[in-house]
């Protein structure tokens, strides 16, 4: 009986070391976040393709305007207030740079994700 247990244990131990491990050194990108006030800001594609906008001060409505720098076209016009406090926007892949104009007395949180 002891030999049988030793045999089973050695098979289990051997199989543990012989199975390939699928480990990688890939670390997911940590989203970048910051709070912005009224002003004009310039962002490039390195900040991420998805931008989550969340109104940090629901009592003070904010207007966000996103303009493509390559073409000068209006990409997004967003108004956030106490009824709609957050939105996700997506920046197209060919877009190199974009300008964001923020109007209002409150604060808005930008979270950039890839």
CATH number of the domain that residue 56 is part of: 2.60.120.340
Give the 3-state secondary structure of residue 4.
Answer: helix
CA 44 – CA 12 distance, rounded (Å): 53
Q: Is residue 12 part of a domain?
A: no
pLDDT recorded at residue 29: 60
Q: What is the largest CA-CA distance in the chain?
A: 81
pLDDT in tens, 46-77: 566 788 899 999 899 999 998 887 788 888 89
Rg (CA), the chain: 25
pLDDT recorded at residue 1: 75
Q: For residue 52, give the H/E element and its range.
A: strand 50-55
Give the closest residue to 102 by CA, choosing from 39, 18, 46, 23. 39
Q: Is residue 91 part of a domain?
A: yes
pLDDT in tens, 81-111: 999 899 988 876 545 678 889 999 999 998 8
pLDDT recorded at residue 55: 92
Q: Is residue 24 part of a domain?
A: no
Give the 3-state secondary structure of residue 12.
Answer: helix
pLDDT recorded at residue 12: 84
Q: How many domains does the chain have?
A: 1
Q: How confident is the model at residue 31 (pLDDT cuts 50, 70, 90)?
A: low
22 contact partners, CB below 8 Å, separation of at least 6: none
Q: How confident is the model at residue 7 (pLDDT cuts 50, 70, 90)?
A: confident
- The runs of H, that is alpha helices, within the chain are 2-18
User: Domain limits at 70?
Assistant: 29-113
Q: Is residue 23 part of a domain?
A: no
């Amino acid at each position: 009986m002891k030999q049988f247990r030793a045999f089973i244990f050695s098979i289990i131990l051997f199989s543990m070391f012989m199975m390939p491990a699928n480990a990688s050194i890939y670390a997911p990108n940590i989203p970048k976040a910051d709070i912005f006030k009224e002003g004009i800001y310039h962002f490039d594609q390195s900040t991420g393709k998805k931008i989550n906008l969340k109104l940090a001060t629901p009592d003070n409505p904010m207007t966000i305007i996103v303009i493509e720098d390559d073409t000068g076209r209006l990409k997004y016009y967003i108004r956030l207030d106490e009824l709609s406090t957050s939105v996700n926007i997506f920046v197209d892949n060919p877009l190199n740079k974009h300008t964001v104009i923020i109007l209002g007395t409150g604060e808005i949180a930008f979270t950039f994700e890839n």
